[in-house]
Structure 1
Amino acid sequence: MKRIASQIFVMAWLPFVSQAQTTTKPSLMQALMEAVSSATVSDAQVADLSRQAIKEMDAKNPVAAPNDPYTLRLNKIVSRHHTIGGLPLNFKVYKVPDVNAFATADGSVRVFKGLMDIMTDNELLAVMGHEIGHVINHDSKDAMKRGLQTSALRDALSSGSGTVSKVAQSQLGSVADYLISAKFSRQQETEADDYSYDFLKRNGYNVLALATSFEKLAKLSGGAQGGKLASLVSDHPDSQSRAQRVRDRARRDGLAK
């Protein structure tokens, strides 16, 4: 299957390879062209592009059915959390074996089967809290705006003389490569960690679930999952260090020994 490519700019990804599929329809590319041609990109445009992107991805990936055990488990986990920070959320499971999850600027949260297989319920909430934190903190929107303003993206999208259908596949691949390589800063990652911690604490969950989720990811990045790990995992803040930071904070808060 094809890797996630041209819609990655609206997502906050865990650092793992994904086998989920996506293609770019003319309607989405036209919206991108219009956004690039404008001086600024509004939050409303970002949310609209996110909705288009997630609709296309849901149509091209194995989404767990309403009565699927994975869907039933996820719905139970998030039953108290259909709105966070004023943002309405919608949840689905991709039955793809990758260890991954993402949230988009329109409030869509997608969790992969592979992640659900290795995480407890509270650890899944911690991971989703981190991803939602990127959205609430506007990291996803800012990343997309930066992407739309890059010369590589402008050049690739404008090379078809204004006609989206004429953009060569190789050029779209270059755009996708840029978008995939775009990363959140360490500060943004730390702030998303803090958002997840606060979310767990505020709702009465064990905040150490965030630490244990990082510890599991640290073990995976050590090579246990081989080819399922992307090379960019080494460019993210060290998972073990992030876990220790959570544990230290929990001790200060009197939530751990």
Structure 2
Amino acid sequence: MKKIISIALIATVSFCMNAQINLGKMTKAASSGVAALSFSNADAQKVAKEGVEWMDNNNEVASENDPYTIRLNRLFGKHKNEDGLPLNYKVYLVTDINAFACADGSVRVFSSLMDIMTDDELLAIIGHEIGHVKNEDSKDAVKNAYMKAAAMEAASASSNTVQVLNDSQLGELANNLLDAKHSKKQESEADDYSYDFMKKHNYNVVGAYTAFKKLALLGGGEKATSYQRMMSSHPDSEKRAQIIKSRAEKDGVWNDPGEVKLPTERITE
């Protein structure tokens, strides 16, 4: 498996293994007039779908019989429609440690994230990503990614028309989607959604706590540069873990997991 990089050899996010995510040629920055573009939920879903399809076609996706896919289906198979949102999900065989969800309901989980997270931790992380979609954070991220990829001028922005992107622009869109950052407020709201998702489905909410503890541990060592770049807009992972603990204690569902460590071997599929 390979690392997620752009054609221009610019690293984009924090995780991958040995599949190569080609993220396209960088285009010029969008003009300030782009802000005038009208961008509906339907536009966000269409553009996101095109961007994710481009990534799927240009990267190594785990097959239906791959242990990673089997594990994800086992964990998440019953959530193909969650909270009114139709979902589709796949695993990218990459060394980066990440997961993302887009406005069209596409959920992509990176194999190296699955290597270090337990089932409950993965459910909490995916629930968090779904929260971004349900809260329409992903709509804003898609709009910004699209504007940069299209490099639109003020005239085309004022037309309120979402234009068709060429292959190079789709690569740039993918790059921008993966590099999208949410505000700390949006991250906190997605954390709340994840906790509620876990509780609603009778999953172990302590998995959200231990997931954040592991993310905090990833802040050091050789993964620090890419991880810290991705997490720069996020609330502190240790603080997020403590918020989960406080909620679980209040709800009477806290069960102390003891010391949380990163696994030294890949977690069994």
User: Which band: TM-score by shorter chain?
Assistant: 0.7 to 0.9
Match of residue 8 from structure 1: none
1:49 aligns to 2:47 (yes or no): yes
Instruction: Please report the TM-score for the alignment, with normalisation by the length of structure 2.
Output: 0.74
Match of residue 192 from structure 2: 194
Secondary structure of residue in 2 paired with 1:184: coil
* Offset, 1:106: 0.7
Q: Is the 8 A contact 1:148 1:154 kept in 2?
A: no
Distance 2:55 2:164 in 1: 23
Secondary structure of residue in 1 paired with 2:218: helix
* Offset, 1:88: 0.8
Match of residue 235 from structure 1: 233
* Offset, 1:125: 0.6
1:21 aligns to 2:21 (yes or no): yes
Where does 1:240-251 land on structure 2 (aligned, <5 Å)?
Answer: 240-251=238-249
Q: 1:42 to 1:178 in 2, by over 3 A?
A: same
Distance 1:65 1:113 in 2: 12
Secondary structure of residue in 2 paired with 1:225: helix
In the alignment, which of 131, 138, 141 is matched to residue 140 of structure 1? 138
Higher helix share: 1
Q: Is the 8 A contact 2:4 2:96 kept in 1?
A: no
Secondary structure of residue in 1 paired with 2:78: coil
CA RMSD of aligned residues (A): 3.7
Q: Is the 8 A contact 1:2 1:22 kept in 2?
A: yes
Q: Deviations over 1:170-193 (max 9, x none)?
A: xx97x9887766521111101100
Q: Is the 8 A contact 2:97 2:111 kept in 1?
A: yes
* Offset, 1:98: 1.2
Q: Is the 8 A contact 2:92 2:108 kept in 1?
A: yes
Unaligned runs of 5+ in 2: 157-162, 256-269
1:120 aligns to 2:122 (yes or no): no
Match of residue 107 from structure 1: 105
Distance 2:232 2:36 in 1: 35
Where does 1:214-233 land on structure 2 (aligned, <5 Å)?
Answer: 214-223=212-221, 225-226=223-224, 228-233=226-231
The alignment covers a number of residue pairs equal to: 234
* Offset, 1:51: 1.0
Q: Is the 8 A contact 2:15 2:95 kept in 1?
A: no
Distance 2:135 2:228 in 1: 25
Q: 1:223 to 1:58 in 2, by over 3 A?
A: same
